[in-house]
Amino acid sequence: MVSKFFRDCMRLMRSRDPQEMEDGFHDLLPHAAGYVPELIAAFEREQEDHGLRCWLLELLGGARSEAALPVFREHLYGDDTSLRFWAVSGLRNLGTRQARRELWQARCNGIID
C-alpha cells in the first residue's frame, strides 16, 4: 500500500502549478530511499509527462538503491538523452561494483563520455 505522504508528493509533482511541482519533488527527495519500489512503479507507469519521468529517475538516483539498477541500465542505453543523463547520475550515485561496470561498458561502447 502506498503511503499518503508518497501519494501527496506525487499529486504535487503532477500539479500544473510549478511551485507545487517543485514542493512535491523536494519533499520526497530526502525520503526517496524509503520509496524505491513506489518510485520504480510510478516511473514505469508514467508515459506522458517527460519531466515527471526525469524527476522520478532523479529521485531513484538519490535513493541509492541497487533495486533501481535495472531501470538505470535500461535508460543508459535508451534513445532519450535526458533519461540517459539521469541514469548515468543514478549509477554514479549508486557507486557499486555493478554500477561502475555499467558505466565503464557504456563508455567503451561510446554511449557516454
**Mean pLDDT per 10-residue section of the chain, whose length is 113 residues:** 95 97 98 98 96 98 97 96 98 97 97 92
Q: For position 2, what pLDDT does the model report?
A: 86
Q: Which three cell numbers stand for residue 48?
A: 506522458
pTM metric for this prediction: 0.95
Structure-derived torsion over alpha carbons of residues 33, 38, 88, 86, reported in degrees to the nearest 10: -110
Q: For position 1, what pLDDT does the model report?
A: 79
Domain segments of the chain as ranges = 4-108
Q: For position 41, what pLDDT does the model report?
A: 97
